[in-house]
Amino acid sequence: MATHHPHMPNATEEATSAMLSAVGASDVEELYEQIPERLRFRGELGLPEPMTEIELQQHVGGLLERNETCESNLNFKGAGCWQHYVPPVCDEIIERREFLTSEWGSPESDKGRNQAWFEFCSQLGELLELDAVGLPVYSWGNAAGFAMRMAHRLTGRTEVLVPESISPERQSVMENYSRLSSGERRLTIETVAFDPETGELDLDDLRERCSSSTAAVYYESPSYLGTIESGAETIADVAHEAGAECIAGVDPITLGVLDSPATHGADIVVGTTQPLGIHMNGGACSGFIASRDEEEYVVEYPTLLLSVTNTATEGELGYAFMPEQLHRSSYGLREDGNDYTGTSVYLWTIANAVYMSLLGKHGFRELGELVVERSHYAAQRLSAIDGVEVRLSPSFFKEFVVDFEDAPVSASEVNDHLKAEGIFGGVLLGEEFPTLGDAALYCVTEVHTQADVDRLVDAVTEVVEA
């Protein structure tokens, strides 16, 4: 029986029987002659009856209506996935079927898409002031994990220093790339303390821990806890003096108002591109790896790399994967390749490219200044409430730590109250960072108006002073 399913043009009796007769089979069972009977599934699949599109749209729409969103609530959660404004142009472009549904293709037939990828790398390269930018990896933590192993291959060493202020999520991902390996390739991750007043890396602790065994010093700016790292230059110097690589993790949306870590000596820069035109999607992740355009670094990338090149017509430019690099990846060398690579988040790099084109030369500064001003406004107003303290100030971009230790209610109770007011309070830090008191990480971006912040402050005041 044919289902006539609208996505399967051959699901008709006519097409099926014509093809069966062409291949000389009397029924579809004969098609599976390679599979022995004992390996066949002969039961009934316990799946629900199929629905038509109109039924499905109502059914799935109805289920998803049961979620609450950051559109119907006022959201102050960040912590690795942030609510930034996504220009609708980003959506329009990546919904184009040419981009949405393609696979690899050829460099000529998919010229436009490859050029869009190149423009992602090119524009991110300008923000980072780096000449080599790889095609995307899965997430920030994934990028940091890969970079750490690049450093290991570059130095032959096995210790990696990371800040104690790192996101536990990210650290867990990085650990998967370190502790799993055996013998000489097993990396150890050690944490470096942060200054409890400023949140910046404790440089004395760094100096003490950094040694001739250190493969890489990894730091972040802004850190998971929001702090802008002003000691970037010193961190890189300490790493380099010990013969280690310096890897920096960065949120690229800050780079209109903050220097790229590369200008302060970082050798490899990693991060996420989710803030650059990608919706949160309940945890969208996208990572990048960039470095100077030096062969010793480039050959260690685990990602595919794309380059601009010539075509057979003089003066014309085309774009292609670098063949040797493709070969050096696990696609070519299997277990001997650099780490592992596969399908990643390439579509989103096109949204990133569009986003960076829209903001252009001046947009990142304007956006950055707006975010800094509004987030500091929120922090200052919150810290004016009795019993509420903003920790690790004064230098942060969009996220800051709010400590309710001295308040009559807990951070969790504050969130419950906010929730009832249609506000998603900050991500609780109590379990992850007990030294910060009873704290939550708040995020304020360009989508939050003064009125939004005032509403938050009023609601917090109400519960704390009640």
Partner 1 sequence: MSTPSTDERPRDDEAERATNEGAREGRRGGTVREYHAKVWDEPSIMEMGAAGRRGITFPEAESAVRDTVGSAADYLPDAVAREDDPALPEVAEPFVVRHYLHLAQETLGFTNISMWGTCTMKYAPTMNEQLEKRHLSNLHPRQDDDTLQGMLEIAHELDGYLQELSGMDRFSFQPASGTQSAFVFTSLLRKYLEDRGELDQRTEIVTTLYSHACLPATADVAGFDVVTLQPGENSYPSTEALEAAVSEKTAALMIVNPNDLGVYNPNVDEWVDIVHDAGGLCFYDQANFNSTMGISRARDVGFDASHYMLHKTFGNPKGGLGPAAGAFGCREELVEYLPTPLVEYDEADDHYSLDYDRPNSVGKVREFWGNLPLVMKAYVWVRSMGAEGIVEASNLSVLGNNYLETLLEDVPGLAKTVENVTQRRMEMTRYSWGELFEDTGVSTVDIRRRLTDFGIDAYWMSHDPWTYDEPFTPEPGEMHSKENIETYAEALRRIAEEAYDDPERVKTAPHNQSIDRVDEERIDDPDQWAMTWRAYQRKFGDHED
**Interface residues for partner 1 in 160-219 (CB under 8 A)?**
167, 169-170, 172-173, 175-177, 180-183, 185-186
The radius of gyration computed from the CA coordinates of the chain, to the nearest angstrom, equals 26
Compute φ and ψ for 114, nearest 5 degrees. -65, -35
Q: x/- site string to partner 1, residues 269 to 288, per CB under 8 A?
A: ----------xxxxxxx---
How far, in Å, are 184, 193, 312 from residue 151 at the CA level? Answer: 14, 21, 38
Q: Is 315 in the site for partner 1 (CB under 8 A)?
A: yes
Determine the Cα–Cα distance for residues 215 and 185; give it in Å rounded to an integer: 12
Q: Are 261 and 276 in contact (CB under 8 A)?
A: no
* 345, 402, 411, 423: residue in contact with partner 1 (rule CB under 8 A): 345
Residue range at the interface with partner 1 (CB under 8 A); choices 204-212, 239-247, 254-262, 458-466:
254-262
The encoded tokens of residue 202 equal 């404790």
At its nearest, how many Å lie between partner 1 and the CB of residue 17?
10
Q: Which of 218, 288, 319, 442 binds partner 1 (CB under 8 A)?
A: 319
CA distance 78 to 83: 7
Q: Minimum CB separation from partner 1 for residue 179, in Å?
A: 9
Residue 415 corresponds to which tokens in the numbers above?
Answer: 């969130």
Q: Answer yes or no whether residue 419 interacts with partner 1 by CB under 8 A.
A: yes
Q: Which sign does the torsion angle of CA 379, 380, 385, 387 carry?
A: positive
Minimum CB separation of residue 248 from partner 1 in Å reads: 11
Question: Which residue is listed with tokens 């050690």?
Answer: 190
Q: Footprint of partner 1 on residues 378-417 (CB under 8 A)?
A: 380-381, 394-396
Q: Which is nearer to partner 1, 115 or 213 (CB)?
A: 115
Among 364, 404, 433, 442, binds partner 1 (CB under 8 A): 364
Q: Which of 158, 191, 213, 230 binds partner 1 (CB under 8 A)?
A: 230
Q: Does 420 contact partner 1 by CB under 8 A?
A: no
Which lies closer to partner 1 via its Cβ, residue 243 or residue 311?
Answer: 311
What distance in Å separates the CA atoms of residue 56 and residue 294, rounded to the nearest whole number? 52
Tokens linked to 308: 């601009």
Q: Which of 19, 241, 406, 458 binds partner 1 (CB under 8 A)?
A: 19
Q: Which of 26, 45, 156, 466 binds partner 1 (CB under 8 A)?
A: 45
SS3 66: coil
- 450 residue type, one letter: Q
Q: Which two tokens mark 456?
A: 């938050």
Smallest separation, CB 109 to partner 1 (Å): 4
Smallest gap from residue 435 Cβ to partner 1 (A): 21
Specify whether the CB–CB gap between 301 and 287 falls below 8 A: no
Candidate list 188, 211, 212, 309; residue touching partner 1; CB under 8 A: 309
3-state secondary structure of 317: strand
Q: What is the pattern of x (binds partner 1, CB under 8 A) and - over residues 47-86? A: xxxxx-x--xx-xxx-xxxxxxxxx-x-x-x-xxx-x--x
CA torsion angle 298 300 303 304 (round to 10): 50
